[in-house]
């Protein structure tokens, strides 16, 4: 009878042992990576932020634009590490969560930071020499400042993965289970906000690039407030005559058809004239041929209230990507 009871306990004991092994492995990785993270934060804070402040190579506004709340993020890591080294995971991570807003601020400043770095490297000879000198220090191990600036955002993703794993492998009756669960939730929410900020910044970059490609009076403000999905060349098949190549820009709510400016047009060479704008909310999409995935390309039919477009590509894979992106745009307008 005792043997039966013991065998019934084995699966539970084995599960607990697995939790403990995973928890110990995750905790060790969190501690070791935090030490390395803090070391790198400290190198930038000491050899870049601190010395730039002392030398006055950059004005305070330029230095703030370049590094954002770097020193405050470094301070938050300095607070956290002793808790991790002492094995007080729940208490340390719960306290660390009060500093998560710094990571949101850092993400919001990321695009400005990269722009400031490129501008200063280009126009400020003193700053350029200073950066080259500091990057040559053996402590940086051939890393460049540009490689180090995204470090806090990369670490936030690591925090999410490690703290979630730590919470999941902590027994519910453990003293720090609630603290770890709360910390995992707050860190995941912050990581999601930071991801959304990054997506908006990438979209803004696409919009500025596309707006620069579109010339003429009709093109002004065409990309404002939109979400970019795709661009590329497609052949427009007319009712009569030969297919004509056109550049298409797909956004979440509209499809823009554009025609390249003549090469002899000196002021607007390399740009495109907007020829038509199609609202995706009124689009009906059909694949005429190109279902088989063969090498022959395919044809898409886009029907709008006032016009029907037949778009062709000789690249089957490219056509599939266009079909997927157009489907997404249409679905987003109906939801």
Instruction: For residue range 219-267, list pLDDT tens digits in order.
Output: 677 777 789 999 999 999 998 889 999 999 999 999 999 998 887 665 6
Instruction: For residue range 80-125, list pLDDT tens digits in order.
Output: 999 999 999 999 999 999 999 999 999 999 999 999 999 999 999 9
- The pLDDT score that the predictor gives to residue 16 is 73
299 and 324 part of one domain:
yes
- The pLDDT score that the predictor gives to residue 216 is 63
202 and 230 part of one domain:
no
Distance between CA atoms of 272 and 219, rounded to whole angstroms? 9
Hey, what are 213's tokens? Answer: 């490609």
**241 lies in which domain range?**
216-333
CB contact set of 280 (below 8 Å; sequence gap of 6+): 251, 252, 253, 254, 255, 326, 329, 330, 332, 333
57 and 203 part of one domain:
yes
Distance between CA atoms of 191 and 199, rounded to whole angstroms? 12
CB 210 within 8 Å of CB 231? yes
Distance between CA atoms of 245 and 232, rounded to whole angstroms? 10
pTM to 2 decimals?
0.82
CB 77 within 8 Å of CB 34? yes
Is 307 contained in some domain? yes
CB contact set of 135 (below 8 Å; sequence gap of 6+): 143, 144, 145
SS (H, E, C) 152-218: HHHHHHHHHHHHHHHHHCCCCCCCCHHHHHHHHHHHHHHHHHHHHHHHHHHHHHHHHHHHHHEECHH
- Of 211, 240, 262, at which residue does a domain stop? 211
Q: Token match 């995706």: residue? A: 280
CB 102 within 8 Å of CB 72? yes
151 and 221 part of one domain:
no
145 and 184 part of one domain:
yes
318 and 233 part of one domain:
yes
Tell me the CATH number at 183.
1.20.900.10
In the chain, how many domains are there?
Answer: 2
- The pLDDT score that the predictor gives to residue 265 is 60
Tell me the CATH number at 317.
2.30.29.30
Residue 272's nearest CA partner among 218, 314, 311, 323 is: 218
Q: Which residues of the chain have pLDDT under 70?
A: 1-9, 12, 216-219, 264-268, 290-296, 335
- The pLDDT score that the predictor gives to residue 306 is 87
What is the helix (H) or strand (E) element at residue 55, kind and residue range?
Answer: helix 51-55
258 DSSP β-pair partners: 247, 274
């Amino acid at each position: 009878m005792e043997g039966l009871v013991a065998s019934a306990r084995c699966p539970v004991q084995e599960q607990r042992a697995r939790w403990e092994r995973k928890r110990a492995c995750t905790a060790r990785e969190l501690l070791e990576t935090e030490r390395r993270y803090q070391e790198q934060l400290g190198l930038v804070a000491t050899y870049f932020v601190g010395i730039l402040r002392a030398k006055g190579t950059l004005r305070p506004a330029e230095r703030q634009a370049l590094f954002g709340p770097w020193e405050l993020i470094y301070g938050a890591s300095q607070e956290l590490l002793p808790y991790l080294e002492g094995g007080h995971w729940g208490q340390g991570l719960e306290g660390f969560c009060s500093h998560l807003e710094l990571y949101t601020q850092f993400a919001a400043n990321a695009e400005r930071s990269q722009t400031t770095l490129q501008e200063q490297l280009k126009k400020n000879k003193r700053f350029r020499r200073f950066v080259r000198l500091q990057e040559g220090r053996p402590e940086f191990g051939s890393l460049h400042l540009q490689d180090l600036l995204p470090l806090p955002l990369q670490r936030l993703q690591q925090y999410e993965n490690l703290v979630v794993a730590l919470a999941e492998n902590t027994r519910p009756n453990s003293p720090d289970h609630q603290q770890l669960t709360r910390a995992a939730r707050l860190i995941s929410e912050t990581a999601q906000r930071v991801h959304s900020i990054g997506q908006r910044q990438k979209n803004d970059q696409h919009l500025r690039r596309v707006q620069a490609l579109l010339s003429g009076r009709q093109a002004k403000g065409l990309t404002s407030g939109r979400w970019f999905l795709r661009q590329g060349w497609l052949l427009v098949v007319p009712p009569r005559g030969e297919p004509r190549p056109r550049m298409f820009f797909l956004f979440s709510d509209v499809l823009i058809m554009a025609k390249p400016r003549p090469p002899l047009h000196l002021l607007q060479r390399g740009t495109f004239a907007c020829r038509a704008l199609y609202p995706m909310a009124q689009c009906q999409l059909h694949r005429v041929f190109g279902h088989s995935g063969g090498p022959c390309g395919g044809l898409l039919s886009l029907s709008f209230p006032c016009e029907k477009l037949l778009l062709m590509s000789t690249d089957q894979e490219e056509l599939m990507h266009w079909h997927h992106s157009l489907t997404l745009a249409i679905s987003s307008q109906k939801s």
